[in-house]
Homo-oligomer: A and B are copies of this chain.
Amino acid sequence: MTTQALPREPRQNRSRATRARLLEAAIDCLASVGWAGTTVTVVAERAGVSRGAAQHHFRTREELVTAAVEYGSQVRTARMREHLDALAGRRPSTLEVLTLLGELYTSPLFRAALQLWVAASSDEQLRARVVPLEAKVGREAHRLTVEALGADESVPGVRESVQATLDLVRGLGLADLLTDDSSRRSRLLRQWAETLEAALTRTTPPH
């Protein structure tokens, strides 16, 4: 048993590494050349993987791209968690959390996800696949932001403030799509940090 099982391990690892290379290449490809230019063949070439091997993992562009955005969002969650852990117990400031969110929502991952959401908006089959993914990614982003801010959602208004924060950074991501919007974004996030802090530390309902 052991002698049979052993050689399989490296093959599985290789397969997993190939899959990850394809998913990362798909995110880069989507973010730079867009939905129309992102085919399994183009992504395979970018990843340095044979077309056959790529199609063993992903039969269609839709499968590949959806998996890539899901994978990217898991990587993003893991990175944000690492970042929080690196603070070694110190609670990050509201502005630190907002700056991190501002970076995430202007990253290739946001651009890749945007390409997928927009393609899905005019393709019923793709939409059926993307809606549950969008909901999952949204829930993860919300949970992580609540945790990073140390927000208490039992306080009335706090949940909405966290949601508004994520809608705001999503809007900022869109504003950064065609031109570098970073200095305006920094200014806005500094002011938003004050507004959000006031909302989070309010212990009585706003009314």
Give the B-binding residues of A (Cβ under 8 A). Answer: 32-34, 36-37, 111, 114-115, 117-123, 127, 130-131, 134, 157, 160-161, 163-164, 166-175, 177-179, 184, 187-188, 191-192, 194-195, 199, 206
Please tell me if the beta carbons of A118 and B171 are within 8 angstroms of each other in the complex. no
A170 touches B164 (CB 8 A): no
Subset of 16 A-B contacts with CB under 8 Å: A111-B121, A117-B177, A118-B118, A131-B179, A134-B178, A160-B188, A163-B188, A164-B188, A164-B191, A164-B192, A166-B171, A167-B168, A167-B171, A168-B171, A194-B206, A195-B195
Expressed in whole angstroms, the Cα–Cα distance for A193 and B50 within the complex equals 54
A interface, over-half SS = helix
Residues on B with C-beta less than 8 A from A131 are: 178-179
Bound Cα distance A127, B178 (Å): 7
A160 to B187, CA, bound (A): 8
Q: How far is the CB of A174 from chain B (nearest CB, A)?
A: 5
Which of chain B's residues has its CB closest to A196's CB?
A: B195
For the complex, give the distance between the alpha carbons of A72 and B93 in Å.
41
Q: Which B residues lie within 8 Å of A166 (CB)?
A: 171
A121 CA / B173 CA spacing, docked (Å): 12
Residues of B within 8 A of A37 (CB): 122
Q: Return chain B residues, CB-CB under 8 Å to A187.
A: 160
A53 to chain B, nearest CB (A): 26
Residue in chain B with minimal CB distance to A160:
B191
| A161 cross-chain contacts in B, Cβ below 8 A | 191
Closest to A198 in B: B195
CA distance A119 to B33 in the complex (A): 9
